[in-house]
Copies of this chain bind each other. A is one copy, B any other.
Amino acid sequence: MPELRKDPIVGRWVIIATERARRPMPESTEPMLAPGGFCPFCEGNEDHTPNEIFAFRQQDTLVDQPGWRVRVVPNKFPALKIEGNLQKKGDGIYDHMNGIGAHEVVLECPFHEKSMAQLPESYIREILWVYHERLNDLKKDPRMVYGMIFKNVGIAAGASMEHSHSQIIVTPILPVNVLEEMNGALEFYNYRGRCIYCDIISQELKADCRVIMDSPGYLVIAPYASRFPFETWIIPKHHGSNYENTSKSELEELAVVLKTVLLKLEIALDGPAYNYMIHTGALNSPPTTHYHWHIEIIPRLTKVAGFEWGTGFYINHIPPEQAASVLRNTDTDGI
């Protein structure tokens, strides 16, 4: 059973999950993920994954059988598990919890495609809708406090599988980074009476030097204080705190935006390793006026070193204005 432990000084939680030691991990020095010929995420290999939780599939096809387009399964090497009751206990100055939560994998296509950007738009639309459906389902369970949807692409970004996929981890407490972001947004709201993300949208539209893409419902920017070269945020223009409350038409537009942005990154940076994370409101709280869901994409072009680990300061050698200019001018039309 995984275990949650809290650092007594900074309040940071860690998950001790020994089972994850068994997952397939390529040598860090290999340039590519081991293809091996066999992929448990491909159609026809459904018996190599845990049982299906959810799928979009062709009519008259059966659960855990071929015929799916997007498929969700529990992670075979979960960081957190859904079985059991949440038990909190102390040990002197230390705090401890059992590892209750959820860890799901979204298989994004039945065929062996590595790049989400190369998937047809209809797939991306369904993937985004699957995230929506899973969060709405998981939030019915009162133990589930926060749902983080994320994607790891490439070895440098921590991926262990090549086949295009993303993951959902649901935690029984509000993670520290999320809490900091929410508190920061709340502080701004209390002081100014406005959502800080809405303010960022209007300032960025006016400044017009960090905009990568401007679509009717979404603004894509290189954030002012980018931690990493080519860090990219997708912010919905319509205020909403929770991803799971977005409408189907909003996600249809997001599919176009996300595919375009990922294509731009793929072309401009030659298929980089990257992560994306959907930052969204807590599952167990009503929508808020101060928090604003968004997507953060971080290409993993540089290594995080001792200075960053020690201070939380990041050193970025590409100004976001320059990154935005490169990405804005990267043409995806012929692709």
Q: Give me the interface of A with B, judged by CB distance under 8 Å.
A: 5-21, 25, 28-31, 79, 92-94, 146, 148, 150-152, 155-159, 167, 169, 171, 175-178, 180-181, 184-185, 188, 196-197, 199-200, 203, 207, 223-227, 275-279, 296, 298, 302-320
Contacts and interface: CB of A to CB of B under 8 A. Distances in A.
A184 B11 contact: yes
A273 to B, nearest CB: 8
A177 B312 contact: yes
A6 B75 CA distance: 37
A224 B151 contact: no
Counted per complex, copies of this chain come to 2
Most chain-B CB neighbours within 10 Å: which of A17, A185, A309?
A: A309
Most chain-B CB neighbours within 10 Å: which of A16, A92, A223?
A: A16
Contacts of A20: 315, 317
**SS class, residues of chain A in contact with chain B:** mixed
A224 B5 contact: yes
A157 B305 contact: yes
Contact of A315 (B12, B15, B227): B15
A275 B151 contact: no
A174 to B, nearest CB: 9
Contact of A79 (B13, B92, B315): B315
Given A20-B315, A315-B20, A317-B17, A10 B307 contact: no
A225 B5 contact: yes
A300 to B, nearest CB: 8
Contacts of A227: 12, 14
22 contacts: A5-B225, A6-B225, A8-B225, A10-B184, A12-B312, A12-B314, A14-B225, A29-B31, A92-B207, A94-B203, A151-B306, A155-B303, A158-B306, A169-B311, A177-B313, A178-B312, A275-B309, A276-B306, A277-B306, A278-B310, A296-B310, A298-B309
